[in-house]
Chains A and B, each alone.
Chain A
């Protein structure tokens, strides 16, 4: 249907876009100037000439106390966190939801509600006991310690439970007649059907893992486990005496930190939409 173009509506839309995109542009542009320029002139909306230098330094310059942490290491660590989080949470919550929905065992409903109420408890509430456990297990300064304690996901379990409940029972019955046991039914039928759900949860959980700050801060003292989020913070922490913080580098890291989540959203959103249009009816 043809719609009449209303200039005023577009004006509002354009204003909205500008408003939302301005900080990102500002960060990107500012990262291409020298720290002294930024310090004296404030933030930039125009590109500078220092960009190549900044990004090269951010990605490859060995910094930190030990002098062997580069931006690339931090990027890598964040990636491991993000993907480990998302994949781990999906696997774990799918299995939990599968058990809750398809196996009739005592207290299943109570168990579900117990899992569900943990939604009310944010990480911060249990951060000390979690730290204690990891410390006792000797998992400080390991990827296992970074990822595993946060894998149990009430949100994921809830989403998958709702989704599994919407799968028609006849599908399970047909699979049983076709000789698929509980494991085969899960792998052959349920997992492929859950693709869209998995994509949605991957987006949410990847970004959640990527943006973790407090937990890695507690769990790791070894600089080789630093994530991007900590890196940005540590650059701005050097304001001692007359030294100017490397604003450009902080901005560059922020821009770099933005790319993977954006990429994940773009890639999985396509899958997401494809999955939606492919579904039955």
Chain B
């Protein structure tokens, strides 16, 4: 249990001029659950592995509980890691797998057995302690991997896409288990995933990474409601936010000739972000040419074109959709981004003219 601090952390691989990760500043409070999320190759795993000590840190400082760990071995950093492929020792029983690290640290037998019993109870692994990993299902193996982390009572848990190898249903239930467990143990956790849904549901705070840099740090809802860039906007939320080319003319947002609302911002081109769930099919508003409809049961996603640009809308009605429908846009819920830099434009918007054409 500890405060985790990353200051100016970066990594440049030998023989490469381009840093894989650079300028990462994150302060993680004691007991916080931080999720690093981003597309593959964004450096999230590299960052986690630098904290774990499996990759060298070429720039900046990593502190765990106030202690500078840059040069320490993984075993000395007081962390525990859960790997994507579980990385259980195949020749050891579940019990021995959990015990191995403690034995190496020279814990007394009594302490070891107590902790294993406790972890086994928490994770419901009691009946499997004498089995080898190969005799367990994927979910059970994952639990053993977590058990191995728990018994060490580390300052921080590091999770490297721990649920990616599980099937969809199990992933959802394990996700909840991890969250509950982390709440109960109140251990600082750093969790890497490429799945934005996993990120949203698990995190106290999200760190969205892109190209080895932090795009945005914040609570899941905060990031969902005000994404800092077009990258974050399109990455967080499903279906992805539609990004359209629009203009600001005469203090109004104009999309394909349709006025969507007043805005207090300089004239010129902007990128307009619209979430499918913020739009609804209405009697008046933006005309959308329906292209195809994804039925999800409780709702459906309507994909179509506004002028020449794609837009997705969520619809919960049962009505037949064909040809052109009209979309109501809530001006308070639209996002504006700078077309050149992709950064968010915070501008006061007048909450009028809903559905104005």
Contacts and interface: CB of A to CB of B under 8 A. Distances in A.
Interface of A: 168, 170-171, 173-180, 184, 188-189, 192-193, 195, 278-281
A278 B134 contact: yes
B91 A173 contact: no
Contacts of A177: 52-54, 74-75, 79-81, 101
Interface string B44-81: 00000000111000000000000000000111000111
Q: What 5 pairs across the A-B complex have the smallest Cβ distances?
A: A178-B101, A179-B75, A170-B87, A179-B104, A174-B87
Interface in B88-137: 88-91, 100-101, 104-105, 132-134
A184 B104 contact: yes
B83 interface: yes
B85 interface: yes
Given A176-B54, A180-B104, A193 B81 contact: no
25 contacts: A168-B85, A170-B85, A170-B86, A173-B81, A174-B83, A174-B87, A175-B100, A176-B74, A177-B54, A177-B75, A177-B101, A178-B100, A178-B101, A178-B104, A179-B75, A179-B101, A180-B75, A180-B100, A189-B91, A192-B91, A193-B91, A195-B91, A280-B90, A280-B134, A281-B134
A189 B92 CA distance: 9
A219 B29 CA distance: 72
Given A177-B52, A178-B104, A179-B105, A189 B89 contact: yes
A177 B89 CA distance: 13
B111 to A, nearest CB: 15
Contacts of B90: 193, 279-280
A257 to B, nearest CB: 35
A195 B91 CA distance: 10
A225 to B, nearest CB: 39
Interface residues of B, number: 26
Interface string B122-163: 000000000011100000000000001000000000000000
Contacts of A280: 90, 133-134
Nearest to B149: A177
Interface centre among A170, A171, A177, A281 (most CB of B within 10 A): A177
Contacts of A176: 53-54, 73-75
B153 to A, nearest CB: 14
Contacts, number: 65
A197 B310 CA distance: 58
A173 B100 contact: no
A188 B133 CA distance: 16
Given A175-B100, A179-B105, A281-B134, 5 more contacts: A171-B87, A180-B100, A193-B91, A278-B132, A280-B133
Contacts of A278: 132, 134
A170 B83 contact: yes
Contacts of A168: 85, 87
Contacts of B74: 173, 176-177
A188 B90 CA distance: 11
A235 B104 CA distance: 58
Nearest to A281: B134
B193 to A, nearest CB: 17
A189 B87 CA distance: 12
A57 to B, nearest CB: 48
Contacts of B134: 278-281
A176 B89 CA distance: 12
A173 B85 CA distance: 12
Given A278-B134, A280-B133, A281-B134, A188 B100 contact: yes
B191 to A, nearest CB: 16
A191 to B, nearest CB: 9
B83 A173 contact: yes
A87 B134 CA distance: 29
Contact of B75 (A170, A178, A192, A195): A178
Contacts of B80: 177
Interface string B28-53: 00000000000000000000000011
Contacts of A184: 104
B17 to A, nearest CB: 21
Contacts of B85: 168, 170
A179 B152 CA distance: 11
Contacts of A174: 81, 83, 87-89, 148
Contacts of B79: 177
A268 B272 CA distance: 70
Contacts of A178: 75, 100-101, 104, 148
Nearest to B96: A188
A189 B104 CA distance: 13
B54 A173 contact: yes
Interface string B192-233: 000000000000000000000000000000000000000000
Nearest to A174: B87
A262 B132 CA distance: 32
Interface centre among A168, A173, A180, A281 (most CB of B within 10 A): A173
Contacts of A195: 91
